[in-house]
Amino acid sequence: MDMQLGILFRTIFRKELTMMTRYVINTLSSLVSIYLFFVLIFLGMQNLSGYMAADALSGTLEGTIIGFFVWTFTIFAYSDLSWNLIGEAQAGTLEQLYLTPLGFKWVCASTVVSSFLLNLIPHTIFLLAMMATTGRWLHIDFLSLIPLLAITVLGAYGFGFALGGMALIFKRIQALFQIIQFVFLAFLLVPTRVPWTKYLPLSLGNSLLYEVMVQGTSFWRLRLQSILIATAVGMAYLAIGLIIFARCERVARDRGLLGHY
C-alpha cells in the first residue's frame, strides 16, 4: 500500500511539474496580474494619510503584504483541484483516473500535496517581489512558514474539493471561482478582534503568519492553543469539502456524467 501510494504521488507530482513548466506563462501571468493589483493598492496607500484599518491586514503595510501572499496562495490552492477535474473531463480522461487501484480520492490527495509543494516556489518569488516593491523586508523562516501555510490553506483545499465535486456535475463553474476569490478576501478583511473570526478559514492562520513574519516568532514559540484551533478549523472545512465531493461524485456517477463533458 505504502509503495503504491509513493508511486502514485511521484507520478502525479511529475505530471503537475510538467504541466507547470509547459504552461509556465499562464502561471506567471496570473501572478503578475495579482502583483500589479497589489502595486496599485500600494500606490494608493502611499497617497493616503494612513494605512488600511482592517485588523486582518494588521493595519500596516507588512500586514497587507502577508494578506496578499495568503490570498494568492489560497486562490491557487482551491482552484488547482477543480481546474484539474475540469481539464480531465474536457480531455475525456476522467473515467480512466477512477480505474486506479488506490481509488480516485488518493489521486486527488496526491494532486493537492503536489500542487502545494510546487506552488511554494512561484509564490515565494511573488512574496519577494512585494517586499522589494514596498521596501519592507519580512522575516522568512521556512521551517515555520511552511507548516503554518499548510494549516492556513487546509480550509481552502476543502473549498477546492467541494468545487471539484460540483465540477463533476455542472462542468462549467469557472465563474464561481471569481466569487470564491472575493469570499476568501472577505475572510482576511474581517477584524481579528471579533471572537468568532478564528473559526473562519484563513483568519487565524493569517494572524499566526503575521507573528512569524513580522515579529520574528518561530513556529515552536507560537501559542499552542492558537495552532490547535487553526488546525481544527482547517480540518473541519476540509472534511466538509470531502463530504460534498463524495456526494457530488456519487450523483455524477449515477447520472453517467463522468465519461463526457
Q: What is the pLDDT of residues 189-206, one digit of tens each?
A: 877 777 788 888 888 999
Query: How many Cβ atoms sit within 10 Å of the Cβ of residue 64?
Result: 22
Confidence band for 147, pLDDT divided at 50, 70 and 90? very high
Residue 103 has pLDDT above 80, yes or no: no
Q: Is residue 259 part of a domain?
A: no
Q: Is residue 261 part of a domain?
A: no
Look over the chain and give the mean of its residue pLDDT values, rounded to a whole number.
Answer: 82
* Total of domains in the chain: 1
Range with the poorest average pLDDT among 90-99, 135-144, 161-170: 90-99
Q: Is residue 260 part of a domain?
A: no
Confidence band for 182, pLDDT divided at 50, 70 and 90? confident
What is the average per-residue pLDDT within 9-21?
86
What is the average per-residue pLDDT within 209-222?
90
Residue-number span of the structural domain to which 237 is assigned: 2-254
Range with the poorest average pLDDT among 3-7, 85-89, 119-123, 206-210: 85-89
What is the average per-residue pLDDT within 11-22?
85
Q: Rounded distance, CA 184 to CA 195, Å?
A: 18
Confidence band for 3, pLDDT divided at 50, 70 and 90? confident
Q: Is residue 92 part of a domain?
A: yes
Return the beta strands (E) in the chain as ranges.
none
pTM for the predicted model, two decimal places: 0.85
Confidence band for 19, pLDDT divided at 50, 70 and 90? confident
Q: Check if the beta carbon of residue 103 is closer than 8 Å to that of residue 97.
A: no
Record the cell numbers describing residue 38, joined without a space: 497589489
Element at 131 (helix H, strand E):
helix 104-134
Record the cell numbers describing residue 113, joined without a space: 500535496
Record the cell numbers describing residue 79, joined without a space: 482552484
Q: Quick one: what percent of the chain has pLDDT higher than 90? A: 20
Q: What is the pLDDT of residues 219-231, one digit of tens each?
A: 999 999 999 999 9
Most confident of 25-34, 85-94, 202-211, 245-254: 202-211
Q: Check if the beta carbon of residue 155 is closer than 8 Å to that of residue 72.
A: no
Q: Rounded distance, CA 161 to CA 241, Å?
A: 5
